[in-house]
Structures are given as C-alpha cells and as structure tokens.
Amino acid sequence: MSDSDRYHALDAVRAFALLAGIALHSTLSFLPGMREGNWPISDDSTSVVPAAVFFVVHVFRMSLFYAIAGFFAHLLLERLGVYGLIRNRLRRIGLPFVVAMVVVMPLLLPSFMWAKHQLGMSGWPTIKMPIPEPQLPPWGHLWFLYLLLVLYALWLVMRAGVVTLDRGGRFMGTLDRVFAAVVTNPLGSVVFALPTALILYFTPWWQLWTGIPAPVMGLIPNLPAVLAFGSVFGFGWFLHRQAALLDALRDQWLRNLVVALVLTIVAMALIGAAPKFYDFPLPRNERIAYAISYNLATWFWVFGLIGAAVRFLSAPGQHWRYLADASFYMYLVHLPIVYALQAWMIRWPLHWSVKYALVLAITTAALLVTYHFGVRSTFVGKFLSGRKYPRGISGTPEAAAG
C-alpha cells in the first residue's frame, strides 16, 4: 500500500490499542487483592487508582484492536483475494504467534519465581481466570492473536456461505444499507452492544469486573468472547466495505467519547473500582444495568476513538506511522520486561505511582530501542511486518519479498 492510500488514522488507532495494553499490564502489580490471591508479582504499594485505569482501558482496548483488524482484513481481501489473505495472515499473524509462544512466554517464568522467592509464596495463584474452566494450552497475553486467527477462519467460512447463496448480491446489498443506517444513527451503538450484553447477562461464570471474558486458555474460545470480539471484527469488515462511513464517525467523535465516558463511570459505579477476580453477585436489575452500560460503553469508545483519529490523525504523520509499525513488536514482547521490573520493585519503599511511572517509562524505552536497532531494519522486522525500514523514523520501506 502506498503512503498516499494508507489509512493513517486507523494505523494510529491500532498503535493506540496495542500500546494501551502495555499501560494496562503495567498496573497489575499495584492492584489491590493480587497478593491475597497468591499472585506473586504484587507490590507492597497498591491503590484503587491503577485498578480504575485497568478497568477503563479494559473496556475498549481489545475491541478497538479487533475493529481495526476487521477493517484491514477486508482491505487485504480486496487486494489479495481469499487465498492471498490466508497466506498473508498466516505469515503476519500465525507465524509471529507461534514464535512468540515459544520465545516470549517462557521468559515470564523467571520473574514469577523471583517474586515468589521475595514474598515467600508457595503454590499456584488462587485468582480465578475469566473462563468457564482452566484448559490447556495457556495463551497468556498472546490470546488475542489466537482468537484473531479463529475469527479469520470463522469469518471466511461465513463469507463463503454467503457468496454461494447470494450470487446476485442482494443480501449483501441489504446488509450494507442496514449497516450504514446503524452507523450513522446516534443510537446505532445500541444495536451492536445488546447481543453481547444479553449473552453475558445469562453467562453464570461471567466475572463482571473483567468485562468481556478474554479466552486466555484453551483451544476453543468461550462463546461470549467470540460473539463480542467477532462482532467488532465484523464491524470493521463492513466499515471497509463502505469506508465513507468513517466521515460519519468523524463528525460524531466528541459526542461518542462523552457518552462512552459517562457509561464507563456508570458501569464502574455499579461494580466498584476495586478488582474482583471472581464471580461477583449483583441483584438482577443491577446486573442488567451493568451488562448494558459496560457493553454500550465499549461500542461508544470504538466509535468515538476511531472518529477522533479520523478527525485529527488522517494526515500522514511520521511519528504515528513509526509507532504503528513498532506497536505489534512492542506488544508481543513487553510482558517479560514489565513483569521483571515489577518483580524488581516489589519491596522498594516508593509510592505505587512512582513505581508505575518507572515501569512504564523503562519498558517503553527498552522496547523502542530494541525495535529501532534490532528489529526495524532487520530480518525480524521483515518477519513481523513483511518489510524492512531504514533506521530513521521517516523513510520508505524496502519492498517485502514474496
């Protein structure tokens, strides 16, 4: 894709979604209740403030990522065809996922062992995972790539069925018109949010505080995650079919963000800012209100953040472009660095805010330095993004081979 026809705003959104994940994971050791749940990387200094940060970022960051993934998946389908899309996604998503599982995931263990030794802990964490029951294999923070591969497969199967049955294109034409009507309607988010809110309300094992249950373990992702993240993936897919609708999101960006923030506050008021990594009972009416407000907030954040990016970041910008290129690598490898720093600082007599700032600053610096000198212009960069870049922030990438 040439620089002139890139969706620079959506590059920025993708970078923001991934980098927000680093900020979120950097809060973990400072959350109240982690040590009581036998989580070894748990700091002496904790607060509900980083818990509130975790809660707010968790509302939107992965849904935002999947919306952008769906958008660019349809773009690749138009450019490469079905088999080209499959080959491209296996190279750019499948292979990095496998390599990261082999290389990155084992690097988490030393920090856990170090922290356990410092705190004199034994046994496994008692914090419950947001899944029906523990299953192998554990994906860790790489679950988002495994689920993305599953969504590619499911979406292509559904598309093949529609193409077979809808040879005249009438059904897809109707879907496009309905989609456009929903996106341009100020209350369109309600249509997207209600199915997930409904299924989560009736999910008995749902951990309310953690929102959409991330499929962190197991070969078969849980149904609420597939529905929730699959719907935003589909939103992105259909949004690219009618990319002019980005203008509608641009025009409504401020209203959508204000509504998203209000709904997030409502959801947090219903459940509380303190972490609850267990099945937290709520009265029936409050559970309904929470399911609706949380999922509506997710969709208003997605609409608002994409719209704000289109409003302010559509012009080419070398710094956002650089972060967009770096963000995938940064997210893949950040967690061992974050955990090592958090384990190192567990006993430091400093306020959590100082430690959090140090963890985030050192992690970001380490990731940017290693990306700039060890990834961007090397075979690793080509492996992750299909191209090499010059060492500088700006510049034209070398064409990817094959």
Closest CA to 208 of 224, 219, 221, 220: 224
Question: Nearest 5°: phi and psi at 384?
Answer: -80, -35
Q: What pLDDT digit, counting tens, does each position of 36-56 carry? A: 989 999 999 999 999 999 999
In this predicted structure, the answer to whether residue 392 has a pLDDT above a threshold of 70 is: no
In this predicted structure, the answer to whether residue 364 has a pLDDT above a threshold of 50 is: yes
- Residue 81's H or E segment, with its range, is helix 48-89
CA 319 to CA 331: how far, in whole Å? Answer: 17
- Is the Cβ–Cβ distance between 104 and 335 less than 8 Å? yes
In this predicted structure, the answer to whether residue 361 has a pLDDT above a threshold of 50 is: yes
pLDDT tier for residue 319 given thresholds of 50, 70 and 90:
confident
- Residues above pLDDT 90, as percent of the chain: 80
Domain residues of the chain, as ranges? 8-312
Tokens of 139: 């994906």
> Would you state the pLDDT for residue 5?
59
In this predicted structure, the answer to whether residue 301 has a pLDDT above a threshold of 90 is: yes
In this predicted structure, the answer to whether residue 254 has a pLDDT above a threshold of 50 is: yes
Q: What pLDDT digit, counting tens, does each position of 180-217 carry? A: 999 999 888 999 999 999 999 999 999 999 999 999 99
Q: What is this structure's pTM?
A: 0.94
